Amino acid sequence: MNVPLTGRWPTIVLCLIAGAAAALSFPPFGLLPGLLAYGGMMLLWDGADGTRTLRSAFWRGWLSGTVFFLISTWWVYEAFQVDAANQGWMAPFAVALLAAILGLFWGVAALAYRAAAPKGLLRVIVFAGVFCAAEWVRGHLFTGFPWDLPGEAWRAGSAPSQAASIFGAYGLSFITVAASAALAQAVDYQDRRARIGAGAGLAVVLVLYGSGALRLAHAAPIAADAPMVRIVQPNEREQPSYSADDFRAIVARYVALTSAPAARTPAVVIWPEGAIPDSPANDFLAPGSWTLPAIESALKPGESLMIGAYRIAGSEAAPLYYNTLVVSRMSPGGLVPSAVYDKYRLVPFGEYMPADTIMGRLGFKKLVHVGDGFSPGPRPAPIRAAGLPAVQPLICYEALFPGLARGGSRPADRAAWIVNVSDDAWFGRTYGPLQHLNLASYRAIETGLPMARATPTGVSAMIDAYGRIGPGASLAQGAMGVIDRPLPPALPPTLFARLGETFFYGFIGLAVAAGFISRRAPF
């Protein structure tokens, strides 16, 4: 069951092609045959060309991973162009370094797989377990960066993506990688066991499509009395600094969009992360400021406003900065604060500095302009604001994390919807924001909760509990406007909402058992 490979350079080229093909399977490309690249990686890591050393396996995994992340995360380049005069020169180094570091996770996975040296059909399970265990570590180390997990290559809202409601994104990743590896057995079509393995892989894919289509066929309609939600997208691009005139123009744009006529008065208006730049919520929502009456003028009594902002707490001598979602409700006497959520998962090197003391001494903090950074808030939990269904907030980067929005199965612990405010303006008109939308939509599938997503420049959207975006329920990149949509219904708690990563951990345990068995009795 080995595929003959000869020559160092052909092997290197195949590793690079495998990484690129896997990357192109994700939206917005959606080249799903690229998922077969994971099976190709297994064959390469098997060392079928006779090169079975741990070192060769590591470099093969690292090469594929580095190419994958170069394609998947190159849009980081755009963030450095916002202040190109000071940071533009760092962009190519940052992109290359990020891809090379993330590629190490795949390199270590390949090394571990080669060290286990599984044989027979069971090596498919071992490969999927080792690969996805490395992906889990990538999603947790130093707060984690779970960008483009294999299971999230399926477009959110599609039939195969519905399996995330049972297994979560990590569990679906295991199933996806295992199916790909099983299908790879087809290259050895003369071997009966290989044909069985390929048939099993095809069956898994068909089950994903069939079961997902059945789930979508029973989707619940939106209730006639569902709360109306307005999502504001001002198309405000990121700038290195803002003048007083810029500040007034931004506030005026938000006010105009918020007060735009509506067929039905919204119960809540949502502004994106960092909506009012260079000004803490403590200032622009403070009594006596000119901004507060301007914002109040756009709202009707009973309407709530959610604003992504930063706020300052602590003492004057030791201030604490939080990336925050502020919820207020308009009363006859003005805006009344109702709830606050402080971001829990912060972006390393963007919102906080890992190994802060050491990096400060090395001067790295000053180089990347992190400063003292933000402080993390408590783990996400539903907030209950007056006049609104309980909401699970997620700020930007937090929407990448499987399970972070999981509130459990008890009604008292569970939100009715998710609000994701994000500032994807940092990444321009690249496909980074499009992929962020797809990844965030998986949190709706996992929890069975609809999601309202607001960004300054797109893509903003109302996403139902199946991860779908209906006609007219989104604003594209570079568009300015509002989305007025009734809140889609929440579903009963999904299996993932009840059990979390239980299935995924079971898959990893199965892979460990398969590794022992395959070494002793290859099948």
Which positions ≥6 away from 451 have C-beta within 8 Å?
A: 417, 418, 419, 420, 440, 441, 443, 444, 462, 463
Which positions ≥6 away from 107 have C-beta within 8 Å?
A: 58, 59, 61, 62, 65
Task: State how far the alpha carbon of 155 is from the alpha carbons of 10, 159, 214, 469, in Å.
Answer: 32, 9, 17, 11
Q: Which residue in this structure is represented by tokens 């380049």?
A: 77
Separation CA 488–CA 349 (nearest Å): 36
Copy the structure tokens of residue 150: 């294999």
Do strands 304-314 and 268-270 pair parallel, antiparallel, or not at all (unpaired)?
A: parallel
**Helix (H) / strand (E) containing 463:** strand 460-463
Copy the structure tokens of residue 418: 């998710």
Separation CA 436–CA 459 (nearest Å): 9
Which positions ≥6 away from 23 have C-beta within 8 Å?
A: 34, 67, 68, 69, 71, 72, 148
Question: What is the CB neighbour count within 10 angstroms for residue 159?
Answer: 19
Copy the structure tokens of residue 63: 């090469």
- The answer to whether the CB of 388 falls within 8 A of the CB of 413 is no
Closest CA to 389 of 408, 410, 416, 414: 416
Separation CA 125–CA 118 (nearest Å): 9
Strands laid side by side in the 228-233 sheet: 334-342, 319-331, 304-314, 268-270, 228-233, 481-486
In the Cβ-directed half-sphere of 163, how many Cα atoms lie within 13 Å? 27
Separation CA 38–CA 128 (nearest Å): 9
From the candidates 396, 398, 446, 501, which is the catalytic residue? 396
DSSP result, 242-258: --HHHHHHHHHHHHHHH
Question: What is the CB neighbour count within 10 angstroms for residue 243?
Answer: 10
DSSP result, 351-372: TB-TTHHHHHHHTHHHHHT-TT
Residue 461 carries which side chain, given as an amino acid letter? A
From the candidates 78, 152, 236, 273, which is the catalytic residue? 273
Quick check: is 15 catalytic? no
Copy the structure tokens of residue 523: 């099948």
Quick check: is 343 catalytic? yes
Quick check: is 501 catalytic? no
Q: Which residues are catalytic?
A: 273, 343, 396
